Amino acid sequence: MLKLSPFHLAIPVNNLEKNRTFYRDVLGCEEGRSSDHWVDFNFFGHQLVIHFDENIKELKVNPVDGKNVPIPHFGIVLEWDTFKTFSEKLKNKNINFIIEPYIRFKGLKGEQFTMFFKDPSGNALEFKSFKNPDEIFAK
């Protein structure tokens, strides 16, 4: 696998302060530069920027493994034990999950932990972890 470079993702939020608190205090992302219209975060080694936009669109869903997966969504692939610890941390912070943490494709190639939830502006996030990290792109 190639050494990955950090990605940059800018997303709209309809309340800058609520989302700043969510990404910083709930998810534990370090805050970087900011203005009165946007805030940078270290999102697990990647650059996430929240930009104020009062016109957030509704999410749609697609069925995956018997669950309604929200689209669009973004997130990060964590190590197996890190996923377990992080999901427990979120449960303790009373995150309202769209899809509770569970094992998807159990016993199959690409077996993974996954969970979905929204930020305060309705952006969907997915965190996942592959039982076998070599199967992240397996067919």
pLDDT above 80 (res 3)? no
pLDDT for the residue 58? 78
pLDDT-derived band of residue 26, with 50, 70 and 90 as boundaries? very high
pLDDT-derived band of residue 55, with 50, 70 and 90 as boundaries? confident
User: How many CA atoms, within 13 angstroms, populate the side-chain half-sphere of residue 30?
Assistant: 6
Calculate the CA 16 to chain-centre distance.
Answer: 18
104 bridge partner residues: 112
* Structural contact between residues 126 and 87, judged by C-beta atoms closer than 8 angstroms: no
- Average pLDDT in the 83-112 region? 95
In order of their start, the domains of the chain are 8-52 (3.10.180.10), 60-135 (3.10.180.10)
Calculate the CA 82 to chain-centre distance.
Answer: 14
What does 23-38 look like in DSSP terms, one character per residue? Answer: IIIIS-PEEEEE-SSE
pLDDT above 60 (res 1)? no
- Average pLDDT in the 27-50 region? 96
